[in-house]
């Protein structure tokens, strides 16, 4: 399977949206593969799923990313799952659905009236967690570039969604990078 061929079915390679998606996905794949070296995981799967994890963004209304669909950005994960399932890759599709933030629970979706199907969208497998972790470090920029995010920025962003989300990320930091997060004085 060539993930870029699948992306090209849904994105015109001459568009900024394609460039934004590809540049971001390549950075996520690179970091995910670095993390994966420490674990007995399917590295080919990690590469492919990392490249496809954000395929659903074109269906969102996110003009700064050259995406002109009708869905809110938060929906890109489950929309991506539907696309990748249709392509015949159900395990890759689950990465699309479960990578947002550090995952979203069914209870959070219902309680916060999020525009998502009421499902648990939490990463479960090591591969899913590695890709969700790697994704946090790279911001898509409107010019197609990728901005590297610091651990502090990631934690600050996740803190908007509760201490539990921050703790999941801190646990991943310890597991995947062997780094215990300490608050900078």
Per run of 10 residues, the mean pLDDT along the chain (length 185 residues) is 98 97 98 95 97 98 96 97 98 97 96 95 97 97 95 94 94 86 55
Burial of 120 (0-12, 13-18, 19+ CB in 10 A): middle
Architecture per CATH, 3-177: Orthogonal Bundle (1.10)
- Residue 32 CA to residue 3 CA, distance in Å, equals 15
- Quick one: pLDDT at residue 178? 81
pTM: 0.94
- Quick one: pLDDT at residue 185? 44
- Quick one: pLDDT at residue 177? 86
- Quick one: pLDDT at residue 113? 96
């Amino acid at each position: 399977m060539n993930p870029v061929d699948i992306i090209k079915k849904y994105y015109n390679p001459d568009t900024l949206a394609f460039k934004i998606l590809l540049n971001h996905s390549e950075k996520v794949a690179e970091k995910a593969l670095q993390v994966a070296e420490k674990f007995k995981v399917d590295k080919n799967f990690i590469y492919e799923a990392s490249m496809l994890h954000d395929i659903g963004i074109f269906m969102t209304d996110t003009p700064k990313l050259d995406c002109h669909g009708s869905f809110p950005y938060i929906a890109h994960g489950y929309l991506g799952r539907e696309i990748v399932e249709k392509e015949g890759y159900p395990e890759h599709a689950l990465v699309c659905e479960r990578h947002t933030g550090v995952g979203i629970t069914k209870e959070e979706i219902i309680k916060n009236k999020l525009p998502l199907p009421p499902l648990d969208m939490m990463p479960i497998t090591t591969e899913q967690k590695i890709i969700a972790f790697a994704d946090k470090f790279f911001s898509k920029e409107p010019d197609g570039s990728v901005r590297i995010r610091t651990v502090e920025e990631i934690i600050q962003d996740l803190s908007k969604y509760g201490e539990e989300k921050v703790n999941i990320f801190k646990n991943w930091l310890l597991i995947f990078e062997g780094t215990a997060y300490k608050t900078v004085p």
